[in-house]
Structure 1
Amino acid sequence: MENEPLIDDAMKSELAALYQTADRHYHGLPHIEAMLALAAEHRHLLDDPEAVEAAIWFHDAVYDSRAKDNEAKSAVLAESKLSGRTNPARLARILAMINATATHQLPPLEDEDAASDAALFLDMDLAILGADPNRFDAYEKAVRREYGWVEEPMWRAGRAAVLTSFLARAHIFHTQSFRDRFEARARENLVRSLQVLQGQPQQSPRQT
């Protein structure tokens, strides 16, 4: 039904339960709440805040650190839950945002407003990279716990490759507002984390 909210309280409770399983050390409810707070802060920049909220709620709904299709499965779940609550075009843009979290590259959306919302959504998901050093370090430890089954040498190599790929981008964040706020700190955090992974001497993190 078009007049129903995309994400009602019952659905939020259902999704919240998925995010509170014991194996979620970072990709849990606090991550969703942090993104929702950023969405509220940037609501004036969003064309369809409710669609972005839906993408936030569903983007990590399926999460298995051993799997490589979590984003696709999360999108399938979103499609099954949201079909009938909105029109196909709006649902498609929600699914595009969810699937884009697999690479954090902008999805191919022709509508400029939808593309702008997707850019902000992806930046919200990566905002933790630009957090203060203590929060970033806690994030890194939490992700490592989610991949506790991976042996240390393989973890170091794989994680270093991920962080290096972000550093190699011209911009980690897609939007100017997030670049201004988080880009410099994110690069400092990633370089410092790489030094740890590669056993190099660390630079002192900026304390401001």
Structure 2
Amino acid sequence: MDELERQWSALAGDSPAATAAGADLLVRWAEPHRRYHATGHLTAILAAVDELLASGEPADPDAVRFAAWFHDAVYDGKPGQDEAASARLAREVLTALGRPAALVDEVERLVLLTAGHDPAPGDANGAVLCDADLAVLAGSPAEYGAYAAAVRDDYAHVPDADFAAGRAAVLAGLLDRPALFRTETGRARWETAARHNLGTELVLLRASAS
């Protein structure tokens, strides 16, 4: 059993149905068309969730971890549609596994939230999940460069000019926020580096378009 299989089993149990669901998720995350939104990202977001929870951030561990597993389970490079399809899959699978309706509802909500990474004030679960998903923005310059290149590969079907315009709009929108990260831990550990990386990429995108 590899590490991701172990983590899924610890979260979902080791019944035949849970094991089959985990295997299906891992197949999805390993689809050949994925570059950034692949098993490496799943591993990273789960680690970031663990880091935030270990630091004392208040959240429902099961809801956030299930949402991390499902948030990019469907990935076709169609923002908004991918999250909606992933949320539907989460509801279908968790309901079939007999999870409580309240948990299913919360996981579905959290998966949908990753389309915009803008949890409301007081949304502890949303803050932890979104911060974990955005933690990649605070990598070293080399790590961030690899991330940005992988994201471009994930959108290889989008023409360069369209991608640059869309990506620049996303980056500018993030930088306009008072804070990228909603947890105290996320702001303390990741905010400064993430803003530097986003700003650098935005300058490069705008220069390439001029």
State whether TM-score is above 0.5. yes
2:43 to 15, 18, 33: 33
Inter-partner Cα distance in structure 1 for 2:132 and 2:78: 24
Inter-partner Cα distance in structure 2 for 1:175 and 1:41: 12
1:24 to 34, 46, 53: 34
- Superposed CA deviations along residues 31-71 of structure 1, whole A, max 9, x for unmatched, are 01111112222334344212211101100001111464111
Alignment check: 8 A CA contact 1:6 1:86 kept: no
- 1:180 aligns to what? 188
Alignment check: 8 A CA contact 1:52 1:94 kept: yes
Ranges in structure 1 where 5+ consecutive residues have no aligned partner: 201-208
- 1:96 aligns to what? 109
Inter-partner Cα distance in structure 1 for 2:187 and 2:80: 28
Secondary structure (helix, strand or coil) at the match of 1:199 reads helix
Inter-partner Cα distance in structure 1 for 2:199 and 2:11: 42
Which amino acid letter does the alignment assign opposite residue 92 of structure 2? S
- Tell me the TM-score normalized by structure 1: 0.86
Q: How does 1:43-54 map to 2 (within 5 A)?
A: 43-44=53-54, 45-54=57-66
- Residues 1:162 and 2:175 aligned together: no
Shift of 1:105: 1.1
Shift of 1:16: 0.7
- 2:12 aligns to what? 6
Inter-partner Cα distance in structure 2 for 1:47 and 1:67: 26
Q: How does 1:194-205 map to 2 (within 5 A)?
A: 194-199=202-207
Secondary structure (helix, strand or coil) at the match of 1:13 reads helix
- 2:100 aligns to what? 87
Q: How does 1:97-176 map to 2 (within 5 A)?
A: 97-106=110-119, 115-176=123-184
Secondary structure (helix, strand or coil) at the match of 1:102 reads coil
Inter-partner Cα distance in structure 1 for 2:84 and 2:114: 10
- Superposed CA deviations along residues 15-41 of structure 1, whole A, max 9, x for unmatched, are 010011111100011101111112222
Which amino acid letter does the alignment assign opposite residue 34 of structure 1? A
Shift of 1:154: 1.3
Shift of 1:197: 0.6
Equivalent pairs counted in the alignment come to 192
Secondary structure (helix, strand or coil) at the match of 1:42 reads helix
Distance 1:82 1:193, change over 3 A: same
Alignment check: 8 A CA contact 2:83 2:115 kept: yes
Alignment check: 8 A CA contact 1:6 1:82 kept: no
149-158 or 136-145: bigger deviation = 149-158
59-68 or 121-130: bigger deviation = 59-68
- 2:7 aligns to what? none
Ranges in structure 2 where 5+ consecutive residues have no aligned partner: 1-9
- Tell me the TM-score normalized by structure 2: 0.85
- Residues 1:55 and 2:67 aligned together: yes
Inter-partner Cα distance in structure 2 for 1:147 and 1:168: 24
Greater fraction of residues in helix: 2
Shift of 1:156: 1.1
Inter-partner Cα distance in structure 1 for 2:11 and 2:197: 38
Alignment check: 8 A CA contact 1:173 1:183 kept: yes
